Every structure is written in C-alpha cells, then in structure tokens.
Homo-oligomer: A and B are copies of this chain.
Amino acid sequence: MISAELMELNAIVWMTSLTPIFSFLAWAEITPLLATATAFDTDSLVLVGVLLSLVVIYLTSKIGGELSNQLGLPPILGELVGGVVVGISALHLLVFPEGGANSFNSIIMNLLQATADLDLKETSAILKTQSEILTIFAEMSVLVLLFRIGLESNLSELLEVSPQATLVAVVGVVIPFAAGTVGLIILFGMPVIPATFSGAALTATSLSITSKILLELGRLNSKEGQIILSAAVIDDILGIIILAAVASLAKTGEVDVSKVLYLIISASSFLLGAILLGRFFNKSFVMIADKLVTRGRLVIPAFTFALVMAYFATTIHLEAIVGAFAAGLVLDETDKRKDLQQQVIPIAELVVPIFFVTVGAKTDLSVLNPAIPSNREGLLIATFLIAIAILGKVIAGFAAFGQTQINHLAIGVGMIPRGEVGLVFAVVGSANGVLSKPLEATIIMICILTTFLSPLLLRFVFPEAGWMVAKSK
C-alpha cells in the first residue's frame, strides 16, 4: 500500500514539474464552462484521448526512427526505444492500465481531466477504453505489416527453402527448450514444471519483429531472409503446439496427446490449405477485382481476404498474423501484385508505427533495475536464459544445410527476437499459476532484450547492408 501511495506522490511531483511543457494547452482549460452545453460525453473524450495518443505515437516514431537512422541503426530500434521513453518507464505520455498504470500516471488523462472537468473514476474508464482501442489498433497494424511482408515475399522461393527452414526452426526450438529447461533445473534448482514452461517460452521467433527488420535491411528477398521468414512461420506453429503441450502438463501433470496431435494436424492443414486454395483463389481474386468498378476495388477485396485468413488462423489457435501473412503470400502470386503493393505501402507506413511504439511503451524497464533486490535472482536467471536464447538460434542458423553462398550467422541472428509468442507464454504461465511474478517478468525481459539486440547484431553480421530508409516518398 505504502509503495503505491509513494508512487502516486511521485507521479504528482513529477507531473507538476512537467506542467510548463504543456501549458501552451492550458487555455483549453477554460472550456469546461461549455462542457454541459455541448455533447462533450465520454465517447468524444475517448476519441480525443486516442487522437492525442496517436500524435504521441507518430512524433515518437519519427523522432526515434530518424535519430536511430542517423546513428546507422535500424529505424525500428528507434521506434521501440522511443516507445520506452514515452511509455510507462519514463515520460508517461502513453500508458496502458494492464501495465499497472492508473489514470493518475497518464499525462493525456491528466490533460483530459483538466479540459473536461472529470472525476477520477470517469478518467479511469476513459483510459481503459482508450487502451483497449490502441491495443486493437496495434494488433490490426501488425496484421497490415504481415500482409505487406507476405505480399513482398515469394511463395515459391519460400517453399524452395522450406527443407532448410524446417531444420532451422526445429533446431532453433529444440536447443533453447532443452537447454533452458535442463539448465534451470540443474543450475537454479527450479521445479520441473516452471522450468519446462520457461524453456518453452524461449522457442518461438517473433515473425513481426524479424520480418520488419529484414524489410528495413532490404534483405527480405535474400536467401537468408527467405529462410528466416519461412523458419519463423514454422517456429510460430511449433511454439503454439508446445504451449498447448506444456499448458496441459502444467494443469494435469501429463501431456494431452490428442490435443497436441489435433494442433499439429490443424496447423499443417491451415498452411497447406492456404497454399493450395490460394492457387485457386488467385484467379477468382483477379476476376473479382477486374469486375469491380467502384473505389477501393483492389485494396478492399485484398484486405477482406487478409482479415478472413487472419480469422481462420485464430480459429485453430494460430496467431492471426500467420493468416494475414498467408493472405499476402497468396495475393503476391497474382498479376495485381505491383498495383496492390503500391497501395498497401502507404497504409502500412501509416499504421505499423502504432505497433512498435506501443510495444516499447508497454515495456516496464523497472523489472531490469538491479537496485531492487527482488529483481536480482530474476536478473541472474534472465542472463542465463538470454544467453541460451541467443546461442540456440545462432546454432540453428548453421543447421541450414546445402547452401554454400549463405550467411549462416545472419540467419541465426535474424531468428533471435522473441516477441508476441514469448509474451503469450508469460501471460498463460502466470494465469495458470505456473510462473511466479519474477519469472513472468524475466520472460518478458527476454522478449524485450532479444527484440532490442537482434537489429543491433544484424547490422554487423550483414555488414554490407544499409537500412532501406528512403524507399518511399
């Protein structure tokens, strides 16, 4: 209780010090006299909150991206770090209640409260709705990103490298899983079930972060890029299957084989089905698009297809983004490819920063603070698990056989980011009572650090690559 009160006090002191920064907006405070006359209801305040949050997101993404680029680093790193700066860890311009923040900590909510004369309860409700909306915005924006990545990838090239990719994926899943689990049991004396869960959380590469990095490197269509992408999709599927297995292990003490089999079959059928039906749907899509004459006759059918595929992916408990990626791959095979890419690029550029800045903003760096004693054991475990997480994927990179002119190190490094799937493990494990709070924080920490490390390292293992920064106007 005391620490919560101290935090609030802290927030007040800190808010007060910031006041001059947005005092140029203070004239808006005179408007409460109108609040009853016009329909300044909660709905419109949510809209205002979302507007302001998007302004913060876009300013952050541009300032972070440009600075990062000037330092010779990928823009995405700047967006993530920028997100951390404006988020829960520092400036509190963009906070989400699930991160332990209340409306008291949110500068935007304080501004709204001043403008519209709200009480704390109303402000909390607005912050909650606003956060749900921004979260869905971010999730939709990753769908757009992966749809675009699919459009810019080539299905036959992906299939061509699929034997190597499968091996990279399997090795990159087995090594961190096995080494992580065994190491936690032997070195840290952890019980079997949480150790298994933590090991399992190290398995899956983040498709969205990895593919964005490859896009920025201009390496999406290199042999390495194709193997990484392909392996990341397989990884995602393996990760979901492992999650089902370890979650049932955690719950009943044994693995439910029928569930695991069901997942393997449905996930494989989804991918195979997408590829096969895609060949047929290609022609129908072109036929439909040619028949339509009203505005959006290409972009709307294309996104509708992506949304439907994303939905089907969720019904078999794959990530929605796998469906959007598959939709992009299928439409890349049509002769509408060029037109579609051209229209999707500005859409993606507008929405994708929402995802990366939000990921940064939700990251609570305080779990990394070694001055707090309760973090220390977590930090030791985290150091061990991060080493395993990096080494496991780097070794997996060398499993890509039969290619002579290939940068094996780049493949391994490209597979390092654990993003959303790792976070799902943390959330499910914590909800099932398998993971303690510090262990959950440790897993989140691994997702964060691997995400930050991979672009930095890739810059050096692809030394000849420049960031594709000025491709669009």
- A351's nearest neighbour on chain B, judged by CB, is B347
A residues 28-62 touching B (CB-CB < 8 Å): 28, 31, 33-34, 36-41, 43-44, 46-48, 50-52, 54-55, 58-59, 61-62
A259 close to B294 (CB less than 8 A): no
A472's partner among B38, B297, B308 (CB-CB below 8 A) is B297
Interface majority SS on A: helix, strand, loop or mixed?
Answer: helix
| Chain B residues, Cβ within 8 Å of A262 | 33-34
Known A75-B295, A297-B473, A350-B299; judge A247-B31 contact (CB<8 A): no
A37 close to B248 (CB less than 8 A): yes
This chain: copies in complex: 2
| Chain B residues, Cβ within 8 Å of A427 | 39, 41
A62 close to B292 (CB less than 8 A): yes
Known A38-B428, A55-B307; judge A473-B251 contact (CB<8 A): no
| Chain B residues, Cβ within 8 Å of A398 | none
B350 close to A303 (CB less than 8 A): yes
A471 at the interface (CB under 8 A from B): yes
A174 to B237, CA, bound (A): 65
| Chain B residues, Cβ within 8 Å of A66 | 292-294
A470 at the interface (CB under 8 A from B): yes
B350 close to A55 (CB less than 8 A): no
A295 to B345, CA, bound (A): 10
A346 close to B349 (CB less than 8 A): no
A residues 218-251 touching B (CB-CB < 8 Å): 240, 243-244, 247-248, 251
| Chain B residues, Cβ within 8 Å of A84 | none
Question: Interface of A with B (CB < 8 Å)?
Answer: 25, 28, 31, 33-34, 36-41, 43-44, 46-48, 50-52, 54-55, 58-59, 61-62, 65-66, 69, 75, 115, 129, 132-133, 135-136, 139-140, 216, 240, 243-244, 247-248, 251, 256, 259, 262-263, 292-301, 303-304, 307-308, 310-311, 314-317, 320, 339, 343-344, 346-347, 349-350, 353, 424, 427-428, 431, 469-473
Instruction: Give the 3 A-B CB pairs with smallest separation, nearest first.
Output: A296-B349, A343-B346, A28-B315
A sample of 5 inter-chain contacts (CB < 8 A) reads A31-B316, A34-B259, A37-B244, A44-B314, A62-B304
